[in-house]
């Protein structure tokens, strides 16, 4: 285990073997309403690499081979699988579920109640949303996260509207604005995004995709 002297680790943090935490990271910070610091645990599995200035709140369960870029921010009460990478300056809000082998690139925003299944790939600057009518009365009570199914790919600078389902083995082209569900094994592009091709027409070898 290698932890820089400047790292702040709160109580009730459990770290696996072979964890590296770089300078000025904050690990296990209690969220608002949990100042006791003892009622929420943070569990991080083996062989994690947490790069400098990352902030991970308590109440998360994180699998093995986890890594962050610099200044990643991960809120509380999330479940994160094995071999997940969360890029520099990306934000994961609370009550998010992330499967195994998920790659989240730089400056991605993932709001509450989002689900990313196994092997999902998220390009840089992608924004997910969860409020259909932001700042309206009861907006917080009616949040609905997006659900991205296994092996889907979302290209850079795309925006996904609340409650959207992205089907397995589908591709959202870079810069798209997704306003409707995306069927499995389809390719969508544009604003609003429309189907332009099928996944099976592209040079992907599904036998080599986990």
Q: Are 30 and 40 in contact (CB under 8 A)?
A: yes
Q: Which of 37-41, 44-48, 95-99 has the lowest mean pLDDT?
A: 37-41
pLDDT in tens, 151-179: 999 999 999 999 999 999 999 999 999 99
Structural domain count of the chain: 1
- What domain range includes position 95? 2-208
> What is the per-residue pLDDT for 86?
98
The enclosing domain of 135 has a CATH number of: 2.160.10.10
- Across the range 131-139, mean pLDDT stands at 93
> What is the per-residue pLDDT for 204?
86
Strand, helix or coil for residue 49:
strand
The answer to pTM > 0.85 is: yes
The dihedral formed by the CA atoms of 69, 71, 73 and 74, expressed in degrees to the nearest 10: 40
pLDDT in tens, 96-124: 999 999 999 999 999 999 999 999 999 99
Strand, helix or coil for residue 72:
coil
Q: How far apart are CA 45 and CA 121, in angstroms?
A: 21
Q: What is the widest separation between alpha-carbon atoms in the chain?
A: 55
Label the pairing between strands 186-189 and 194-198.
antiparallel
Round the average pLDDT of the chain to a whole number and report it.
Answer: 95
In the predicted model, is pLDDT for residue 24 greater than 70?
Answer: yes
Q: How far apart are CA 159 and CA 176, in angstroms?
A: 6
């Amino acid at each position: 285990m290698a932890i820089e002297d400047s790292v702040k680790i709160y109580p009730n943090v459990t770290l696996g073997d072979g964890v590296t935490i770089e300078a000025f990271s904050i690990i296990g910070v209690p969220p608002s309403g949990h100042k006791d610091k003892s009622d929420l645990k943070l569990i991080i599995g083996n062989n994690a690499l947490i790069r400098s200035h990352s902030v991970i709140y308590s109440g998360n369960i994180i699998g093995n081979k986890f890594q962050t870029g610099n200044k990643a921010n991960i809120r509380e009460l999330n479940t994160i699988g094995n071999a997940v990478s969360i890029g520099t300056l990306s934000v994961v809000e609370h009550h998010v579920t992330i499967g195994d082998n998920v790659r989240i690139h730089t400056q991605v925003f993932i709001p509450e109640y989002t689900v990313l299944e196994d092997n999902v790939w998220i390009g840089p600057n992608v924004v997910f949303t969860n409020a259909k009518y932001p700042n309206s009365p009861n907006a917080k009570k009616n949040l609905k996260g997006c659900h991205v199914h296994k092996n889907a790919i979302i290209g850079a600078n795309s925006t996904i509207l609340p409650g959207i389902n992205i089907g397995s083995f589908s591709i959202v082209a870079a810069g798209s604005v997704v306003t409707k569900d995306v069927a499995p094994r389809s390719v969508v592009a544009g604003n609003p995004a429309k189907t332009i091709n099928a996944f099976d027409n592209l040079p992907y070898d599904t036998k080599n995709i986990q």
